Amino acid sequence: MARSWDRKGVQDRPPSNREVPSDRKTDEEWAARYAAADTPWDLGSPHPELSLRLQDGRLAPPHEGATALVPGAGWGHDAIALARRGWQVTAVDFVGSLEHQVAPKLERLGGRFLVADAIRLDAAEPFDLVWDHTFFCAIQPAERAEWGVKAAELVKPGGQYAALVFPVGKPAEESGPPFGMDCDSMLAALGPFFNVRESEPVTRPLKRRTWREFWLRAEKIGLASRQ
């Protein structure tokens, strides 16, 4: 896996004529990265754009007990930030070793951690929010359509899919993860069931990240909001 999440990884980035791998990264491969503490994507804290929007109320829970799903939650910094701001959080990652670290912290805040494949998640109820931070760019591009269908199923009508869109500008022919993406490719995967509410560069781009970052928030079409 190329170490191309941050500026440290720039020299390691493979040449753009390298063949794009079509194989899916397995949970064992991701687990090996965590076991080796080789996790350059990990910020050690919630993404500042998420923190900002939670702090100023733009991403406040719409009602008491509103639910949020965090696919590919990693060490859970974002999931914990959402839970601290009143969201009832379900964090999902298919790396089992994360559970004992993340689950207790989330459970203290009324949330939970599930060891599961997010693309094939079987949820009893859809969520008010799906928060995606470097999950979409971590899955194989060939899996995006499948995730889009699942995401549409996982968000309630009137609910939201919010994302930190990264790495914008990374050529599609370069290997990953992270695989290059932008707001349009994410919206294309989500399909016709979402209206875009916000799509803009992040307020304070992270210096350590090589590629551009955008904020995207789309609302699932509900009975009252079809337009």
What is the binding site for ligand SAM (CB under 6 A)?
30, 41-42, 72-74, 92-95, 117-119, 133-135, 138-139
C-beta separation of 197 from 173 below 8 A: no
Shortest distance in whole angstroms from residue 151 CB to ligand SAM: 12
Nearer to ligand SAM, 1 or 221 (CB): 1
Nearer to ligand SAM, 42 or 195 (CB): 42
Shortest distance in whole angstroms from residue 130 CB to ligand SAM: 12
The H-assigned helical ranges of the chain are: 27-35, 48-55, 77-84, 99-108, 144-154, 183-190
Nearer to ligand SAM, 81 or 118 (CB): 118
d(Cα 54, Cα 63) in Å, to the nearest integer?
Answer: 14
Specify the DSSP class assigned to residue 98: G
- Per-residue tokens: 11: 């020299």
Give me the sign of the Cα torsion angle 78, 11, 180, 142: negative
Nearer to ligand SAM, 72 or 111 (CB): 72
Shortest distance in whole angstroms from residue 118 CB to ligand SAM: 4
- Per-residue tokens: 72: 């590919």
Shortest distance in whole angstroms from residue 8 CB to ligand SAM: 15
Mutual orientation of helices 48-55 and 77-84 as an angle, nearest 10°? 0
Nearer to ligand SAM, 38 or 225 (CB): 38
- Per-residue tokens: 101: 């670290």
Shortest distance in whole angstroms from residue 179 CB to ligand SAM: 11
Nearer to ligand SAM, 91 or 187 (CB): 91
Shortest distance in whole angstroms from residue 77 CB to ligand SAM: 6
Radius of gyration of the chain (CA): 17
d(Cα 92, Cα 68) in Å, to the nearest integer?
Answer: 11
